[in-house]
Structure 1
Amino acid sequence: MNILVINSGSSSLKYQLFKMPEKAPVCSGLVERIGIEGSFIKHNVYTNGNKHSIELAAFIASHGEGLKQVLALLSEGEFAVIASSNDIAAVGHRVVHGGEHFAGPTLITDEVKQQIKKLFSLAPLHNPVNYKCIEVAERTFTKAKQIAVFDTAFHQTIPEQAYRYAIPEWYYKEDSIRVYGFHGTSHKYVSEQAIKWLNKKDTKIISVHLGNGCSITAISNGKSVDTSMGFGPLSGLMMGTRSGDIDPSVIFHLMEHSGYTLEQLSTLLNKQSGLLGVGGSSDMRDIRKMADEGNQAAILALQLYAYRIKKFIGAYAAVLNGIDAVVFTAGVGENDSQMREAVCSGLEYLGLTLNTAANKTYAGELKEISNADSKVKILVIPTNEEYEIAHQCFDLLTVA
């Protein structure tokens, strides 16, 4: 069964084609830096154990434009892997916010699409993009089942004491205002890999997903019990363009004394803050380069970024009553050894001691980067949200 997975982030679009139930993809690719100067597409095809790649550099203004180019690569030219759109049995879509409506993979209907649209305001950088990609895929793969896999689903196990806000109950019962959590597909996948690696019955894991969007999750025996993102994917850690946690008094102040509208505040906190607002770029690679050149704003951005992660690790160690492993994953978590070192520095009291040599030589597979005598294991695990989405889609279709 051919299942195409589309994973659209705030500034990127990843895709993989699987011939399920095989775990190895037929092809994969990445559209990077969407809407940012220097955007490109990298397309990989895997045949007989060999990898063939092509990289196309061109400004890609939107996710819709990027997806159209990806679909052309799949079906046309030297790197085509399907004869026509009819070869695809299902398209699995990562959708960020499912509210309380969806706790598992869901066949996309007009009603489901309307629910996704209703949640645009709660995930303004993601749900509109996810919705657009669904519409493009529906027009392109007319014979395929369209399936949504929601980031929020994994966090449905968070207990009420963690997901409720300290506001009158009416707002929860009538407006469903609560913590939902995000990046659930990624946290689920890497925590399952960590549990297998630890090979123990009871596990306490802190999963640190660092990309353009960032979140951290406390996971007890395979279940999410707390997470940094909340009602929408704005709270918690500092991110590429999102502020993360901020005192609500700042918002009141800007409205009262500077005349900010709700739209201006949303734009400020979602699209103009984080690494971009403090350091001058939303891309960690740019920030790292500027910091290496002595740019003080970029240096401060790195310090703020690491400090927030460290605070949450301490808090979740308390929530879990101990830690077996801290897992770094996603673009920054997997590729920035300096950030991993900055986060782990000063956490020796929790039992984390980093092996700096192992940390610097990480090469893309599950790896322990802690010292042999470290009480808490420090792991780098490449996330594979695409396979996790394909696996959930396959189970949905075959069970049905």
Structure 2
Amino acid sequence: MNDDAYILVLNCGSSSIKFGLFATGAGGPPRQPAWNGKVQGIGGPAPDFGASSVPVAPVVLDARRPYPAALEVIRGHVLQWLAGRRIAAVAHRVVHGGSRYFAPVRIDARVLDDLQALVPLAPLHQPFALEAMRILLAEQPGLPQVACFDTAFHHTVPRVEQMLPLPYTAWERGLRRYGFHGLSYEYMAVALAERHGDAARGRTLVAHLGSGASLCAMQGLRSVATTMGFSALDGLMMGTRTGALDPGAVIYLMEIEKLTLAQVGHVLYHESGLLGVSGLSSDPRALLAREGDGSAEGERARMALALYVRRIVREIGALVAVLGGLDLLVFTAGIGEHSTALRGRVCAALGYLGVALDDAANASHAPVISTAASAVRVGVEPTNEEWIAARHAAAILRLPVG
């Protein structure tokens, strides 16, 4: 590892690929990437590429194989930016590690086969990360690749939190609550200790609110409970996902409305959440702009946002009960970091806990948005999953081979 080498981090979703290049050298990769960007709109009519020093520009992707084509776009831009410098390793965010993988692992054919079996548990992300791994493994077999798992951080939750109320044989087959967004929460464990000191080591609750959303209860900066469970479909209402749902509703959709398994899966993952309830958008910004316009669509937008906030507040209450109280509440990810309105609505419903919000601090997305008199400190902290993945890759490469 040297100053002329970089770790490439790939975060692959169904319609976008984010990347970051992290320098290597003494002390490990710096917290911010030397260069980063993404291809978005993969599979849609107008994909584009943008990076920190390149304006967003349209790209043409082969409609027969848009995902490999998007990876090729990133590869071309990365090689141009590197200008002869080398990539020492590629780190991948992998949503699901199953019951076998609790730590980052060097990727080979056997690991790929293991992870392929977990695709049904994370269909929005897992297959696309695996496709990127396979392409790189075929084209550059000597380039080290490291899988970093979103489930790993939650390995510390007690067994009672992991178990599902199914026959015990289900546990023996690996059906359990895994938890997700672990790379984000792992970064929070680092950043919150730096910013909040001992307060972060007490009863802490982190709200990762993005297109996917979850909560994580921490004590001593370790996960003790989380809202996502066996799959990334559980817990909070999300952009297009239901979150926790009465399984009887699924049975009804299949038995009475005669939806196939594939159709039900599509409804739960792609047609529900904010998009499904509002009928307008999965983006809270679009719904906030419509909720007060007096139209029928505006009323649906209002109800979607009200349900979204209610589900967050309900799950916070459950995790506060598990923690036995609350010292620190932190918002992160796209919505958590940037939506003044939704943070305000959630905190307004937590007045019973003694939460008191500083409106000016909230409006400016300050690191601390609660008042000095608040019984619970409330913060906003940008997440940094890519740096955590780069740091894991660097650690793996320092291990002796064989």
Identity %: 38
Bigger mean CA offset, 286-295 vs 109-118: 286-295
How far apart, CA to CA, are the structure 1 residues paired with 2:91 and 2:276?
33
Report 1:1-400 matches (<5 A).
Answer: 1=1, 2-20=6-24, 21-23=28-30, 24-35=32-43, 39-44=47-52, 52-58=53-59, 62-76=66-80, 80-83=81-84, 87-139=86-138, 141-173=140-172, 175-200=173-198, 202-279=201-278, 280-291=280-291, 293-294=293-294, 295-362=298-365, 367-400=367-400
Task: Please give the secondary structure, in 2, of the residue aligned with 1:89.
Answer: strand
For residues 225 and 266 of structure 1, the distance between their equivalents in structure 2, rounded to whole angstroms, comes to 29
Distance 2:335 2:69 in 1: 25
Deviations, residues 225-284 of structure 1 (Å, cap 9, x unaligned): 111111110010111111111111111111111111111111110111112211222233
Provide the TM-score with structure 1 as the length reference. 0.91
Gaps of 5+ in 2: none
Cα distance, 1:205 vs. partner?
1.0
- Return closer, same or farther for 1:381/1:3 CA change in 2, 3 Å cut-off: same
Q: Which amino acid in the other structure matches residue 136 of structure 1?
A: I
Q: Which secondary structure does the structure 2 equivalent of 1:154 belong to? A: helix
Task: Check 1:313–1:292 CA distance in 2 against 1; reply closer, same or farther (3 A cut).
Answer: same
Deviations 1:195-225 (A, max 9, x none): 2222117421111111111111111111111
Please provide the CA RMSD for this pair: 2.0
Shift of 1:383: 0.4
Counterparts in 2 of 1:336 and 1:59: CA distance versus 1, 3 Å: farther
Gapped runs of 5+ residues in structure 1? 45-51
* Cα distance, 1:142 vs structure 2: 4.3
CA distance in 2, matches of 1:33, 1:332: 20
Contact 2:29-2:391 within 8 A present in 1 as well? no
| Number of equivalences | 384
Which whole-Å deviations, capped at 9, do the CAs of 1:33-62 have from their partners, x for residues lacking one?
Answer: 544566532212xxxxxxx33211357775
Pair 189,128 (structure 1): closer, same or farther in 2 beyond 3 Å:
same
The one-letter amino acid of 1:104's match is A
Is contact 1:155–1:181 with CA below 8 Å preserved after alignment? yes
How far did 1:352 drift? Answer: 1.4
SS in 2 for 1:103: coil
3-state SS of 2:289 partner = helix
TM-score (norm 2): 0.90
Asked if the contact 2:163–2:176 (Cα under 8 Å) also holds between the matched residues in 1, the reply is yes
Structure 1 window deviating more from structure 2 (89-98 vs 327-336): it is: 327-336
